Structure 1
Amino acid sequence: MSSDAAATLPPPGEFSQSEAAKPFKLVKYFSVTSLIIILLFSLLISTAVSRRASELFLSKREQYALLLAENLNHQVMTRFVVPSLTEHGGINVGQPEQFALLDAVVKNTIHSLHVLKVNILDLEGNIIYSTQADYIGRVSDESKAFQGALSGKPTSVIEPPPDFFQAGGEQRVLKTFIPLRDERRRTAELGPPRAVFEITLDLSQEFREVWINQLLILATMLVMMAVLFVILRSIVIRGQRIMARRAALQARLEEQLNQAERLASLGRMVAGVAHEIRNPLGIVRSTAELLGSRVDEVSKPLAGVIVEESSRLNQIVTEFLDFARPQKPHLEALKIEEVLERNLRFLAPEAHRLGVRVETRFPRVPALVLGDKDLLYRAFLNIFNNALQAMEGGGLMRVSTEKVERGERDYVQISVSDTGPGFDLGAKGSLLDPFFTTKEKGTGLGLSIVSNIVASHRGLVELDNTAEGGAKVVVLLPQATAH
């Protein structure tokens, strides 16, 4: 791959986060689109259900009107037509006696049946009788339904026409036009209509109930959609957060892997160089010691300088090898306080020389850790040396241990603090990097070796400053179970 092509690639973390976010963006869009589609289908279903309910109750009411008309037809024929023909020789609703008889027959028949109005129309469409007297003499305004009834087919109309989305407070009526036939005929056919019944039923309450049910259905569907949307939205948001955390963790792991690969390459190079240096360095030191035993008193100090500097260089080479070729720990349950006390006993003369007072705070019951005592001894020796070197003019070094819990694991926390100048917070992120140092002298491998040893024990190293300004090193080691 060319350098130009490589330069166009995004950083690992940015690439991971953007790529990880794409599926959840699609899920978010899909969820919103699905909810809209479900809501539209819910509206259509609720509309269809309500319309079907309207059609069913209209059909029932129309059948009710037909049954009422048949009963009314029978009552009028037997209780009005026959007596009028017998007593008066003919039918004339205009006569007060016949009108009163017809009115009594009709009103007794429809009594308590929730009928709003009954009209009787002649064959020209004129209203010859009505339960509401002011309609008598008018012409029916439903000519199409009236003509259907004259042809022998009962016809119904709704006024005003039903509108599903119209409020339910408006009055609606069902007008049913049914032919009045002669029941005295004994043939199969009843003969032509003699008049037309117009029966008006009030449907306001039924339509109001349908309208209320429609609103309840819509409200229920909206609440369900809102709850579903909130649940799905929370799942998507939580998933996005999880993916973002995983992407960030993956980016950190990739960066750590890249750094580990770089350090491995650097370690191999350092190991090779250190090995090549150590052999001639040993020869130089042994030669200087031999010369020191043979030269006069004037030249002997010079040979001693060579031996001393050779020893210092050998120590540096040893640090390089410790960093380049870390040893695999042999883990066992041990008392970390014993390791710390061994370090402090060894450094007691140096601490006394520098005027540094050591204060320890260990629990009565020693804490057991799972570790390698030799490797941990070397790690804490570096930490204590750094603390002593930071207090050349004297001071106080505090060492303490305690049991702590981090996440789901139990650790033993070892805290080492001093009263020196403390860490440079601006360089805090680089203090564990190899060859990074803020001292005039030193290889910058001390804390790196500490970090490698602690990491091999599956522990953690934390660097910070105390409230007084001194440096503080915290080492967390996995706690071991006593047997």
Structure 2
Amino acid sequence: MLNNHEDGSSPLQFVRVISLTLFIIILSFSLMLSLFISKYAEQTLLEKQEAFGLLLAENVSHQLFTRFVIPTVLKFGAIRLRNEDQALAMDRVVRSTIHSFHVASLRIYDAEGNITYSLDKDEIGDEGKADYMVTKTWETEDFSAEILSKVSKAASLFRVSLEPDSMVLRAYYPLRAERSLTDMESNPIMGILEFQQDITADYLAMLNFERLVIAFSLVTSLVLFFLVLTVLRRAERLSNKQLREKERLIFELQQQEKLAGMGRMVAGVAHEIRNPLGIICSSSELVLKKARKENSSHVRILEALHEEAKRLSRTVTEFLDYARPKKPTMHDVDIKSILDQVTIFMEPECEKLGVSVDREYDGDTTVKGDKDLLYRAFYNLVANALQAMNGPGELSLCTVRGEKGLHVTIMDTGPGFAAEHLDHVRDPFFTTKDTGTGLGLALVSTIFESHGAEMALSNAAEGGARVDVIFPA
């Protein structure tokens, strides 16, 4: 038989491997999907910020030309930022334009790379401060932007909040004199605009979205894993159950084949023994009666001979009954009447041993069955109980009518069934007695099976053996 765990199931070896493999596959796929979505969200954010940066740069360029350059040229004839009034006018235009756009710094460079304007007044007039991107923007005349990060992407995922200016968009844009609104390429460049915009808040919102995607992917992976694991475990239990059932059926089939062969052999031998044994029994009885009349000194020997012959005859009869069981004749039978008849017959033995009999019958006790066979079955059960107690005790006979049918319970206060023998006491030829064929409970089981009844053997909670017989409704 299978070696089972305590819960009645032995795990299939491949279940753990399949479970772990599926978990790794699901988790890897979910993480890859979440990373792809996160990367796409990040790229979308950057593109959006660059687009906003371009709009801001174009707006600054337009506002400077329309609100500062034209009015200043008309009023002063030329632009001279060293003039305090012009510088203040330009500063007002720039600050009003970038208001609420989180611009951290803004500079305007001339063709020589000098800073002609800055939000930080200390930088105005610095020469040669232009970096490579300013020169490149003069050459390409195109907008360009880059992201400056003060914290790594991996570290930012584990932070609840980020410091201001942790993520900055730095952009470069050529400022043009708007001579033509339809062809911007024909407009001359007045300078290069460089500004840095704090996008930490938008980046943090994107990080929260990435965290949500990753968390959802992990939870989904775990849910899928446990669903798959549950299905595999159920399949495992069903497989183990089928395997155990198959083992049990094979074992029972082998037992039946073995017992059938043994039964045929026993039936043949018992049949050959029965006739001469009957002659021996009858002859020993006649000789015993004659010896008793004559007060012969051989009476004790003849009595022992006669008793052993009868015992051997009963044994042969048991063999024949088991090998060729009688087919029951089904009639209405009152189980209460049969149990009373058994206890009346066994009353002298009960008085001898000091056993009290407690009978409790509830409801209708009528079933379909063979009265003689059922009497024999219950007689064997009661006799076994008395033999097990072998002294003072209590025998309980109880019947209850339920949904499944009539439930008959027989309990004694003896030692009960040994745990290691409980599964074998109904096997033919199994016995723990020095004298016995081991066919008693096997015959009882066969009789109940022929009536469609179920018999269960166990030990009562208070001690002693318990036999439950359930007749079908």
Contact 1:174 1:200 in 2 (8 A): yes
Structure-1 residue corresponding to 2:395: 398
SS in 2 for 1:363: strand
Q: Partner amino acid for 2:365?
A: A
Deviations 1:352-410 (A, max 9, x none): 6x465552312253434454322211112222333455677x645524113387xx955
Give deviations 1:61-96, integer Å, cap 9, x for gaps.
322232333332233223332333334333222222
1:72 alignment counterpart? 60
State the partner residue of 1:144.
133
- Given that residues 369 and 477 in structure 1 are in contact (C-alpha distance below 8 angstroms), is that contact kept between their aligned partners in structure 2? no
* Whole-Å separation in 2 of the counterparts to 1:77 and 1:140: 24
Q: How big is the shift at 1:169?
A: 1.3
Deviations 1:267-293 (A, max 9, x none): 111111111112333454566678899
**Distance across 2 between alignment mates of 1:295 and 1:48:** 110
For structure 2, list consecutive stretches of 5 or more residues without a partner in the other structure. Answer: none
Q: Which residue of 2 aligns with 1:344?
A: 343
Q: 1:127 to 1:307 in 2, by over 3 A?
A: same
Offset from partner CA, 1:175-201 (integer Å, 9 cap, x none): 221112221258844244221122322
- The answer on 1:374 being equivalent to 2:372 is yes
SS in 1 for 2:2: helix
Alignment pair present for 1:322 and 2:310: no
Counterpart residue number, 1:202: 198
2:129 and 2:460 mapped to 1: Cα distance?
101
Alpha-carbon distance between aligned partners in 2 of 1:157 and 1:296, rounded to the nearest angstrom:
129
User: Partners in 2 of 1:100 and 1:386 — Cα distance?
Assistant: 119
Partner of residue 171, structure 2? 176
| 2:381 equivalent among 374, 380, 383 | 383
Q: Which residue of structure 2 aligns with residue 41 of structure 1?
A: 29
Deviation at 1:325, TM superposition (A): 1.7
Secondary structure in structure 2 of the residue aligned to 1:90: coil
Residues 103-160 of structure 1 show CA distances to partners (whole Å, capped at 9, x for unaligned) of: 2222233334443333211112221101221232344554135413542211112213
CA distance in 2 between partners of 1:338 and 1:475 (Å)? 18
Q: Equivalent residue for 1:477?
A: 470
Q: In structure 2, what is the equivalent of residue 258 of structure 1?
A: 254
Structure 1 CA distance for aligned equivalents of residues 123 and 434 of structure 2: 118
Q: Is the Cα–Cα contact under 8 Å of residues 360 and 398 in structure 1 kept in the other structure?
A: yes
Matched, 1:213 2:209: yes
The one-letter amino acid paired with 1:476 is V
Q: For residues 460 and 397 of structure 2, what CA distance do their matches in structure 1 show?
A: 16
1:129 is matched with which residue: 109, 117, 120? 117
C-alpha distance in 2 between matches for 1:293 and 1:42: 98
Relative to structure 1, is the Cα distance of residues 343 and 73 closer, same or farther in structure 2, using a 3 angstrom cutoff? same
From the superposition, tell whether residues 336 and 85 of structure 1 become closer, same or farther in structure 2 (CA, over 3 Å).
same
Within-5 A mapping of 1:41-440: 41-138=29-126, 139-140=128-129, 142-144=131-133, 146-160=135-149, 163-167=152-156, 169-170=162-163, 171-185=166-180, 188=183, 189-241=185-237, 243-284=239-280, 310-331=309-330, 334-348=333-347, 351=350, 354=352, 356=354, 358-389=356-387, 395-396=392-393, 398-403=395-400, 409=404, 412-417=407-412, 427-440=421-434
Letter matched to residue 82 of structure 2: G
What is the aligned length? 459
Structure 2 CA distance for aligned equivalents of residues 307 and 438 of structure 1: 26
In 1, Cα distance between equivalents of 2:182 and 2:344? 133
* Deviations, residues 44-66 of structure 1 (Å, cap 9, x unaligned): 22222222223223323322232
1:458 aligns with 2:457: no
Separation in 2, partners of 1:278, 1:368: 37
Change in Cα spacing, 1:102 to 1:25, as seen in structure 2 (3 Å) is: same
Q: How far apart, CA to CA, are the structure 2 residues paired with 1:313 and 1:465?
A: 34
Q: Residues of 1 paired with 2:381 and 2:170: CA distance?
A: 102
Offset of residue 415 of structure 1? 0.8
Partner of 1:13, secondary structure, is coil
Task: State the alpha-carbon separation in 2 of the partners of residues 16 and 427 from structure 1.
Answer: 21
1:447 equivalent in alignment to 2:441: yes
Relative to 1, partners in 2 of residues 1:305 and 1:179: Cα closer, same or farther, differing over 3 Å?
A: closer
Alpha-carbon distance in structure 1 between the residues aligned to 2:267 and 2:453: 24
Greater mean alpha carbon deviation, residues 370-379 or residues 277-286: 277-286
Please give the alpha-carbon distance, in whole angstroms, between the structure 2 residues aligned to 1:429 and 1:186: 102
Q: Compared with structure 1, are the counterparts of its residues 439 and 365 closer, same or farther at alpha carbon in structure 2 (3 Å cutoff)?
A: same
**1:413–1:476 CA contact under 8 A, matched in 2:** yes
Please, what TM-score do these two structures have when normalized by structure 2? 0.81
RMSD, aligned α-carbons: 3.8
Change (3 A) 1:282 1:362: same
Query: TM-score scaled by structure 1?
Result: 0.80
